[in-house]
Structure 1
């Protein structure tokens, strides 16, 4: 099988995606903690393009980008499938995973970290994207399914539930902005709670107080990134 290592940071929801995939498949791995303020030669060697975590090392092979890693883990190792066998269901799972990663996440960041008139456009986009996800999860609930991937956690759930169930609440607290609500998004809340209840998920969640401290300390950087996203 080859030794499995994961280069990552405990504060990253993207590293969490890779870790959950490995745990769901029952793959033992070593977590190599990366100091992102002083990036290691190991990280730069194996991800010279983006220079970001996570990076999965499987023997002498390196795999980068969190959702790519999740699909690689699903295909490379035995264990419960993370993608459906049916081609249409598999395409649907990929669609929602990329919707969460490309549209929802990228609208949430400036909605959280900007103010006043600048905040209006990304906040409207974030609420619209959350409404679309809420509608899909309401349909899933109507079909008596727990997750976007069916009855067990799959690619789309890994892409979004961790971020919305855990990281978003921390970011809302630090930013002083509320985006997700029980009243408007009951299906998202149910989905997020189902995800957090899974043992494989619990095993690789960072300490919440640690996350609050981290994002509080890097708040100025978050605001700067959000402003650049809006200006572009």
Structure 2
């Protein structure tokens, strides 16, 4: 398998960590959606990452789709999410909040960088409100959990998604993710980032130039 995309993307990083946790071998193409868009276009007409090229040539083009495939490949006993029931739905909800957080953090970054002379104040305020509300919701959720990870003693998709989103948000928007306001999330992020698999797949964020 070939994973396309840079690890400063919380979505690419999330997939890379899942691949390693599952023990799947893969090659990496650190292509940028800005500088290497045409290279990506040969595999994904949306020119987006992550893109995963399977050994048979099939291409998966969205992180949730990629992870769904990896879960199926790993099997229900090893999957990083429950196969069914309330725990699966809760995990999917937590992941949706985390990926939504990351998506809004990306949108806000692009607005401020690519339209730095005339950013839309309405859009900026909307993104900031969404980011703040999701951080508060995830903080409340994580603070109510006593176990090391979201669903017990074993790391899962929710843990990875939240940690990757938090790192990106913190790097992209200084002061938005506040350790004092969000202590449970800060503790969660520290626990995850200390793991070897997180240290293996990390790349400092360098904002795109307008």
In which range does the TM-score fall when normalised by the shorter chain? 0.7 to 0.9
1:213-228 aligned within 5 A: 214-215=206-207, 218=208, 220=210
1:119-134 aligned at under 5 Å gives the runs 119-134=124-139
Conserved 8 A contact 2:91-2:157: yes
- How do residues 1-232 of structure 1 correspond to structure 2 at under 5 angstroms? 4-36=1-33, 37-41=35-39, 43-48=40-45, 50-60=46-56, 61-77=58-74, 80-102=78-100, 104-109=101-106, 113=112, 118=122, 119-140=124-145, 144-164=146-166, 166-172=167-173, 177-206=174-203, 208=204, 211=205, 214-215=206-207, 218=208, 220=210
Whole-Å separation in 2 of the counterparts to 1:35 and 1:111: 18
**Per the alignment, do residues 136 and 34 of structure 1 end up closer, same or farther by CA in structure 2, a change over 3 Å counting?**
same
**Alpha carbons of 1:171 and 1:58: their partners in 2 closer, same or farther (altered >3 Å)?**
same
Distance 1:110 1:12 in 2: 12
Distance between the aligned counterparts of 1:14 and 1:124, measured in 2? Answer: 21
- Indicate conservation of the 8 Å contact 2:52/2:61, yes or no: yes
Matched pairs, number = 199
Q: Contact 1:17–1:159 (CA<8 Å) still a contact in 2?
A: yes
TM-score (normalizing by structure 2): 0.82
Distance 1:121 1:34 in 2: 30
Gaps of 5+ in 1: 221-232
Report how far residue 69 of structure 1 moved.
1.1
Kindly tell me: are residues 85 and 52 of structure 1, through their superposed partners in 2, closer, same or farther at Cα, counting changes over 3 Å?
Answer: same
**What's the RMSD between the two structures over aligned residues?**
2.5
TM norm structure 1: 0.75
Write the deviation string for residues 33-65 of structure 1: whole angstroms up to 9, x where unpaired: 224323345x323322x2211111221222111
Structure that is richer in helix per residue: 1
**CA gap 1:149/1:70 in 2 versus in 1, 3 angstroms:** farther
2-side partners of 1:107 and 1:11: how far apart? Answer: 15
Separation of aligned partners in 1, 2:69 and 2:32: 25
- 8 A contact 1:17–1:67 mirrored in 2: no
Gap change, CA 1:111 and 1:9, over 3 Å in 2: closer
| SS class of match (1:169) | helix
